[in-house]
Structure 1
Amino acid sequence: MGSPLPSLLTDGERYQKALQVYYDHSTDFQAMQDFINNLFHDIMSGTINGKSHINVLGIGSGPGDLDIELLSALHLKNPDMTVDNEVVEPTPELISKYKELVSQTPGLDYIKWNWNIMTVQEFEKDWKEKGRTKKFDFIHMFEMLYYVEDNEATVNFFRSLLNKDGKLIISVLDGNTGWGKLDKTYGHRFHNPKLTFVVSDKVKQYLDSGGVSYQSYLLPCEVDITKCFIEGNEEGELILEVITEGLNFKKSAPPELKAGIMELLRCPDCSVESNGKITLSANFEVIVVDQLS
C-alpha cells in the first residue's frame, strides 16, 4: 500500500479556496439551511426554552457561515437570550474569514465570541490540563469527525461538556451514498492512516452499543462533479481535492489510484450522468445526541 496523499489541510489558503468552490457546486449548504429552517428550533426547544443565556461550542467551525445561521435561528425565536459562543478551528485563514463575517453581519451584539485556533485534540488536551468546568447547552461538530483519531472518544468527551438537557449535533457522511462508497473503496489510500474512517452508520453503532439516546436525520445532498472530468479545469481539480482531501490530487496521486477514483466517481452506484452533467450523491446524516447520563 502506497503512502497517503499529501493532505489538503496542510495548505490553509488552498483549503479555503477549494471549500468555496466545492460549496458553489454542492447542495450541502442548502441541505443544512433546510434543516435549520424546518427542524433545528424544535430540536433545541427543550434545551433553550426559558433561558436568558446559553453557552455554545462549535468544533471545526470553518469560515463561520453555518455557525451564524444556527445562532441567528435561535435568536429569531428567543430574541432576549444572550449567547457565549466558543469557536474551535485550527486553520488561521478560516478563523480570519469567520471574524470578517462577524464584523460584516449586523445584529450579533447578543453574542460573546471566544476564539480557539487549535485542533480538536489540542482543545481537549488544553481543556483537561486547565481543569475547566464550563458546561454547554449546545455543541455542534459538522463534518469534522473525519479528522480525529478516535471519534468515539471524541464524541464522549464533548457529551461530557453538556449541560442538563444539552444537545450535541453531529453531521457525518452517509456511508451508502456515492461519496461514502468512494471512501470505503479508496479511503485507506488518501486518508491519514492515524485517522479512523467514519460514516453515519458507524457513529450510530457505537452510540447504540453505549445505550446513548439520539435522533438522526438524513439530508439529501449532491455535488456537480462535471468539471472534475475536464482536463486542466481548476475548479474541477479543487473539487477533487475536497473529495479526496489530497493536495494537488491530479498531480500527487499515482496514476492507478487516480484512474480508479475517476472511474468509480463516474459509475452509476456513485453518480448520475444526465444532459452532460455528472452529479455525485453526497447525502449526509445529522445526529442529535443527548446529554451524557
Structure 2
Amino acid sequence: MASSFRSLVEDENRYLKSFRLFLERSSEHQCMQDFIQGVLPEIFTKIGKGKSSLNVIGVGSGAGEMDLQMFSQMRLKLPGITVNNEVVEPSGDMLFKYKVLVSKTPNLEYIHFTWNKMTASEFESHWKERNLDKKFDFIHMIQMLYYVKDPEATVSFFRSLLSENGRLVIILVSGQSGWGKLWRTYRAELCNTEISQCVTTGDIKTFLDAKGIPYKNYELPSKMDITECFTEGDEKGELLLDFLTEVIDFSKNASPELKAGVKALLRHPDCSSEEDGRVIFNNNLGVLVLDP
C-alpha cells in the first residue's frame, strides 16, 4: 500500500466478520433487491427477446444470493428460458456456499452452472488463451471492481463479450456517497495500490464518457449505522472502521492525526447524517448498465 497498512482483504476471516456486520447495519442488500425487482425485469425482456437460451456471467458472485434473485426475476419475465451461467469467484469458501445454496433451492433445472474459481483477470487470461468467441447476453459485476488492478480494462474486456442485445450491469458505491468523499480525501493514506479499491461509479462514468461509451445510470439510496465507530474500543465499532477504511485494525495502526481526521470526516454532513442520536453513513450505490 501507499502506507504501511495491511489491507483488510488480506485477512479473509476478519473481512468476512466485518462484512457480515456491515450487512446487518446497512440497507445495501435491500436497495439491490429493489433494483433487481424494479429495473432488471425490463432489461431481461430486452435481452431475451426471441431467445430460448441465455448466456450469463456473474463476476465476483460471492455466495450467490443476488444471482439467484436475478434468475428468479429472469424466469418470471422469460418463462421457458434456459440459462448457461458462468460463475467467476476467487473465494473457495464463497463458491462452496453458492453450491450449497443451489442444492437447497428448488426448480433450478433450467440453469447450467459452470464454476470458475478464479479472479476476473484470471478468467480473462483463461478466455483469451482458449481463443473463445462465445458471446453473453447478461453479465453482472456486483461490488467487485475494487479488487482488480485495472477496472477500466476489466470493464472493456467483459463488455467485449456481450452479444448484440446483451447488457453489462456494474454495481459500485456511488461517487456521491460517503465512500466517495472518504476515498477522495484519504485515497493516498488508505487505498491499496495493488488493486483499484477506491473506485466509485463516478470514476467509471469518467472513463466511459471519455471513450464515448453510452450507459444508463441508476442511484440506489442506501444507509449504514456507524454509531459505534465513535466509541473507543467498541468491538463492533472497530470492525466497522476496518470495513470503512479497508485496513486491518485501523484504530491500532493509524496515527492519531489520521484516525481523528477519518472519524471527523465520517461524522461530517458530506458523509453522514444524524437520526435519533445515531450516526447514519451515506452508503448509496450506483448502477451502470452498458450496451455492447
TM beyond 0.5:
yes
- Give the secondary-structure state (helix, strand or coil) at the position aligned to 1:232: coil
| 2:269 partner letter | P
- Cα deviations across residues 44-64 of structure 1 (Å, max 9, x unaligned)? 211012321111101111121
- Secondary structure of 2:138's match? strand
Rate the CA distance shift 1:64–1:252 in 2: closer, same or farther, 3 A: farther
What is the rounded CA distance, in whole Å, between the counterparts of 1:195 and 1:287 in structure 2?
21
Report the counterpart of residue 81 of structure 1 in structure 2. 81
Match of 2:289 in 1: 288
Give the 3-state SS of the residue equivalent to 2:39 in structure 1. helix
**Alpha-carbon distance, 1:96 to partner:** 1.8
> Is the Cα–Cα contact under 8 Å of residues 219 and 283 in structure 1 kept in the other structure?
yes
**Unmatched runs of 5 consecutive residues or more in structure 2:** none
Q: CA deviation at 1:2?
A: 5.6
In structure 1, distance between residues paired with 2:19 and 2:76: 28
Q: How does 1:36-185 map to 2 (within 5 A)?
A: 36-185=36-185
Counterpart CA distance in 1 for 2:266 and 2:184 is 13
* CA–CA distance in structure 2, aligned partners of residues 13 and 106 of structure 1: 30
Alpha carbons of 1:117 and 1:229: their partners in 2 closer, same or farther (altered >3 Å)? same
Does the 8 Å contact 1:16/1:94 carry over to 2? no
- Conserved? CA contact 1:44–1:167, under 8 Å: no
**Residues in 2 aligned to 1:2 and 1:170: alpha-carbon distance in whole angstroms:** 27
Q: How many aligned positions are there?
A: 291
Kept in 1, the 8 Å contact 2:59–2:120? The answer is yes
Compared CA separation, residues 15 and 9, structure 1 to 2 (3 A): same
The residue number in structure 2 matching 1:229 is 230
Give the distance between the partners of 2:25 and 2:17, measured in 1 at CA.
13
Change (3 A) 1:255 1:44: same
Q: Deviation digits for residues 193-250 of structure 1, max 9, x if unmatched? A: 1334422222112212222121111111111111222333332222222222112322
Further displaced range: 49-58 or 247-256:
247-256
Give the AA of the match of 2:107. Answer: G
Classify 1:237/1:215 alpha carbon distance in 2 versus 1 (closer, same or farther; 3 Å): same
Amino acid at match of 1:245: E
Whether contact under 8 Å (1:217, 1:287) holds in the other structure is yes
- What is aligned with 1:211? 212
Using the size of structure 1 for normalisation, the TM-score is 0.93
Moved more, 157-166 or 258-267: 258-267
Match of 2:12 in 1: 12
Q: Tell me, yes or no, if the aligned pair for 1:54 and 1:81 is still in contact at 8 Å.
A: yes
**Residue 71 of structure 1: how far off its partner (Å):** 1.1
Is the alpha carbon distance of 1:8 and 1:177 closer, same or farther for their aligned partners in structure 2, counting shifts above 3 Å?
Answer: same
Fraction of identical pairs, as percent:
48
Secondary structure of the residue aligned to 1:187 is helix
Q: Which runs of 5+ in 1 are unaligned?
A: none
Distance change >3 Å, CA 68–CA 126, structure 1 → 2 = same
User: Alignment partner of 1:118: what SS?
Assistant: coil
Q: Deviations over 1:163-190 (max 9, x none)?
A: 1110000012222222210011112222
* 8 A Cα contact 2:177 2:284, kept in partner: yes
